[in-house]
Structure 1
């Protein structure tokens, strides 16, 4: 079968810091996929579409008919760190790794098959947030000694460099976000393994468990950072409601209380992450998305 990368992946890799490097990986991707399938002795069924923004996922089957999913990501996406996180969770709250023997050869992840078309976004909002909180409780575990994941302080320090160059229209919010980042990373905080990119769309229906998370961008730090991305889930719906700023603040408080997280730290990280995402969207020319993110940050 043809392994054409979905357009969503092509667009996203075109916005990375080194698009030429990622274009080279995309060009080699059909051959990489064929070789990865052969190494693992699995048969391709179809490419998952629209797929993710950082990887190609091929739905496959073993010769005995057992379903699985093969995920291929460029080296810059650090699939080795994703593998380490998934192995650390061991299938508790997260998708299970079926075979990691060939990972060092091609960076591929052979994972249990979930239902990619059924995420928490298919549930009513209140039920989705309840299930999301239950999933996060399973993921937040001690990282173990000598772990190789970066910390929240390290990741946000890198992101802060880009925020210092924010365009004039985002300058005031960027300054506030930078002050928040400095304050929140200036004092010791929790050290737990975090998903790093957790939201409703990253939690899929499974057979082994009702809901399992996928696609971590793992790091180590405090729970408030991980929960912050979930606060702005279904952002267009939030912006469209009459509740506006008061609704956003209530959501922060509700999620913080549900998971025993400090409200002020959650609000702070929610602002920082929204402004950082909005600044990246501006740089990529995704103006509508940027405006939504910056408006949301201003509410808080």
Structure 2
């Protein structure tokens, strides 16, 4: 694959330009062709193509190993903490998640190849939620001893500090207040400390051969299951907002997911509220106000 083919997808470039630490992101993007060649050499692989449109924080290339076995090579900037992703995937060891083929600390993650174009979003909503619930529950295990994963409390404390800047926004302020208050209540009484995916949603579950559906792209964190389900609740939020019964549908989704996975409804509702408002604040910061307002409308239903 020629150097031109190492060019990062536009989706990745756009997302990294909106991320904190933009200068570091741009340096990483400039070095991406070189980093890709180094990773391919280290793993003895040859590239076939870059996955498009790809993710928002990494480049994924479909590759062949020395024995011609298909695989996927994932490269992410240091601030995306790819070592923690590796640690979580190695701990799950393929149970509900993509398998790491070479678990050493070399450049990039060499992963089993899934079907990047086929995620749970390709299924009807009810079936997608059912499969998502069956997949995510496999990931909820005790973290390894001596792990380096941050807690939900610590991650959301950092997010809450950034969220406070939006208290001056008259549109967002009431929901920001509610989100900050519910977070304080939730972290004061976390009922469990399990290893979580951290960013679980339908688009993070891909079709595979070893298992029908496997999770990719964790942002691992340790905490309660309700936190991990909160992002899933608002999947296909554009469709929910477009429905006349969207508010009722969102609340039913909270109840259905909570009950099917034995999670407290109110804790799931609270984390869903906090995470939707926090995502809206980041959308505002990135000058994506229409999407931010969409998330605030969703949050107001909770």
The TM tier, using the shorter chain, reads over 0.9
The equivalent residue for 2:90 is 87
Displacement of 1:10 after TM fit?
0.6
Question: Post-superposition shift, 1:246?
Answer: 1.4
Give the one of 244, 249, 274 matched to 2:246.
Answer: 244
| 2:42 alignment counterpart | 39
- Quote the offset at 1:123 in angstroms: 0.6
In 1, the alpha carbon distance for the partners of 2:46 and 2:146 equals 37
CA-CA distance at 1:102 after TM superposition: 4.5
Counterpart contact for 2:190–2:223, Cα < 8 Å: no
Query: What's the CA shift string for 1:89-147, capped at 9, x where partnerless?
Result: 000000000013352xx3x1000000001000011111111100000111000113222
Indicate yes or no: 2:60 matched with 1:57: yes
Q: How far does the alpha carbon of each residue in 1:40-87 deviate from its partner, in whole angstroms, 9 at most, with x for none?
A: 110100000100000000100013221000000000000000000000
Q: Deviations over 1:229-278 (max 9, x none)?
A: 00000111111112121111111001100100000000000000000000
Q: Is the 8 A contact 1:200 1:230 kept in 2?
A: yes
Counterpart CA distance in 2 for 1:187 and 1:250 is: 25
Q: Give the total of aligned pairs.
A: 297
Once the two structures are superposed, the pairs formed by residues 76-225 of structure 1 within 5 Å of their partners are 76-103=79-106, 106=107, 108-166=108-166, 167-168=168-169, 169-225=171-227
State the secondary structure of the residue aligned to 2:101: strand
User: 1:278, 1:286 → 2: CA distance?
Assistant: 9
Could you tell me how far apart the structure 2 residues matched to 1:189 and 1:260 are?
Answer: 13
SS of 1:295 mapped into structure 2:
helix
For the aligned residues, what is the CA RMSD?
Answer: 0.9
Task: Judge which range, 86-95 or 11-20, deviates more.
Answer: 11-20
Deviating above 4 A after TM superposition, structure 1's stretches of 4 or more consecutive aligned residues are none
Distance, in Å, in 1 between the alignment partners of 2:258 and 2:63 is 39
1:72 aligned partner? 75
Q: Distance between the aligned counterparts of 1:188 and 1:240, measured in 2?
A: 34
Structure 1 residue ranges without an equivalent (≥5): none
| Aligned mates of 1:144, 1:26 — CA distance in 2 | 32
Alpha carbons 2:190, 2:224 under 8 Å: kept: no
Higher mean displacement: 88-97 or 14-23: 14-23
Question: How many angstroms apart in 2 are the aligned matches of 1:213 and 1:288?
Answer: 29
Contact map agreement 1:97 1:109 (CA 8 A) in 2: yes
* TM-score, with structure 2 as normaliser: 0.97
Equivalents in 2 of 1:224, 1:28: separation in Å? 38
Residue equivalent to 1:290: 292
Work out whether residues 39 and 102 of structure 1, in 8 Å CA contact, stay in contact via their aligned partners in 2: no
Contact 2:90 2:103 in 1 (8 A): no
Q: Give deviations 1:181-215, integer Å, cap 9, x for gaps.
A: 10100124211000000000000000100000000
SS of residue paired to 1:14: helix
Q: Distance in 1 between matches of 2:195 and 2:260?
A: 19
Task: Give me the whole-angstrom Cα distance separating, in 1, the residues matched to 2:15 and 2:39.
Answer: 23
Quick check: 1:262 aligned with 2:294? no
* Structure 2 unaligned regions, length at least 5: none
| Aligned residue in 1 for 2:7 | 4
